[in-house]
Amino acid sequence: MARIVQKFGGTSVGDLDRIRHVATLVKAEYDRGNEVTVVPSAMAGITNGLVENVNAISRLHDTREYDAIVSTGEQVTAGLLALALQNIGVPARSWAAWQLPIRTDDMHGKARIKEIETAKLIERFGEGQVAVVAGFQGLSPQNRITTLGRGGSDTSAVALAAALNADRCDIYTDVDGVYTTDPRIVPKARKLTRITYEEMLEMASQGAKVLQTRAVELAMNQGVRLQVRSTFEDAPGTLVVDEDEIVEQQVVSGIAYSRDEAKITIVGVEDRPGIAVGIFGPLSDAGINVDMIVQNISAESGRTDMTFTVGKSDFDRASALLDEIGETINYRSIDLDDNVVKISVIGVGMRSHAGVAKQMFGALAEKGINIQVISTSEIKISILIAEEYTELALRALHTAYGLDQD
Ligand code: ASP
Ligand code: MG
């Protein structure tokens, strides 16, 4: 007997037939004698619709009411799935987060899980009952409903798996695993049988949409065995594991891309101590996340150019803020460019291999692609290029690192 958490994404529960199909996948685990907890997302498109309704009625909404509204999609699928399970002879009941509860902080809209009480679930396992727990939601210290950020039911599932000490957390989705890069852009992309937590974390935070970043972080910290697999095909997916469980480590395991960033250059800013904090301090105070940063030498002496990237959704606020601080910072001009893409090559093998960057720059040079910004970490190299080169660059890099499927 094993204890298993199964998480199903929005397309997997996208209509009633799919919910019936999901019930058969749960039944299969149940029939093997396992203790099963199921975590469904809302039906595809439902959460977006709820968010639109909130924004339509109040742009400057009370985030506690936002959460009360957008959390409802999961409650519907949890109930429907419990019924579908009962219909095929599997004892099941739905649980809203507050009924356990799943305790979070009070950062509405992006709350963090603090603690999950599992006693009731474990008691019901003993009676042979399957638990269907609504994903994405939690309960604040003030007893208000919270949500965990978009894509947050991945995190619900991982947190439940950790709290229940589950043997496995299976993330069922509409793709059959984690690929070396987006197969819609690079047809030669390969499905990875295994990937390390660290690589998965970088892939997710650098734009791969298959798992919520926070869920991967939690799985890594809690040692939860994660598997990404398909709801619609019965095939092994991708296992997210510790580094020592990977037999043949590639230098580069995957290539992620993000079109969600925009580039800002502050031209001719004074080159003196305090300038960086004068720029990035106010951005940070406004909750604007800055990702890549380069400081260049300017043609004019005593002055420099500062280039950095922010999320596209923060672009307008960032440029308004820079206008505001223009007096104290005293720069010549500002250059805004949202026609960029960030491409990241990722692999734990980079720690022990030299020449990974050179290979990247060489492959891009050969295609005549200009690199605008570079940043690196221990297991990742990211570059910023013009958006129109996304496909060309991804394919060239995929080939250059020997990732193409034959
Ligand atoms: N339904 C929520 C969303 O769309 C949570 C999830 O699907 O993971 O963000
Ligand atoms: Mg999702």
Q: Which pLDDT belongs to residue 113?
A: 98
User: Strand pairing partners for 241?
Assistant: 196
> Which of 12, 39, 41, 214 for mutating ligand 1's site (highest number of atoms within 8 Å of CB)?
41
Q: Which pLDDT belongs to residue 230?
A: 96
pLDDT of 249 higher than 80: no
Are 3-174 and 262-337 the same fold in CATH? no
The residue ranges of every structural domain in the chain are 3-174, 262-337
**136 vs 354, higher pLDDT:** 136
Distance (angstroms) between ligand 1 centre and the Cα of 53 equals 16
Least confident of 116-125, 186-195, 287-296, 374-383: 287-296
405 DSSP 8-state letter: -
Rounded to whole angstroms, the Cα distance separating 238 from 230 reads 10
pLDDT of 392 higher than 80: yes
Instruction: Say whether domain 3-174 belongs to CATH 3.40.1160.10.
Output: yes
Phi and psi, residue 18, nearest 5°: -70, -35
pLDDT band at 207 (very low <50, low <70, confident <90, very high): confident
Report how far Cα 305 is from the mean position of its chain's Cα atoms: 32
The H or E element containing residue 73 is: helix 72-87
Report how far Cα 295 is from the mean position of its chain's Cα atoms: 29
Residue whose tokens read 């984690």: 178
| CATH number of 262-337, picked from 3.40.50.10470, 3.30.2130.10, 3.10.290.10, 3.30.420.40 | 3.30.2130.10
pLDDT in tens, 115-159: 999 999 999 999 999 999 999 999 999 999 999 999 999 999 999
Beta-carbon count within 10 A of 285 CB: 9
- Three-class SS of residue 317? helix
Distance (angstroms) between ligand 2 centre and the Cα of 259 equals 18
Distance (angstroms) between ligand 1 centre and the Cα of 24 equals 22
Q: Residues 15-20: contacts with CB within 8 Å, 24+ apart?
A: 15/43, 16/80, 18/231, 19/77, 19/80, 19/81, 19/84, 20/84, 20/87
pLDDT in tens, 267-314: 999 888 999 999 999 999 998 999 999 988 777 788 999 999 999 989
Average pLDDT value for residue range 368-391: 96
Bond before 101 cis per omega within 30 degrees = yes
Ligand 1: which atom is nearest the Cα of residue 10? Answer: 7
**Which amino acid, residue 159?**
A
Beta-carbon count within 10 A of 328 CB: 11
Q: What is the mean pLDDT of the chain?
A: 95
Radius of gyration of the chain (CA): 23
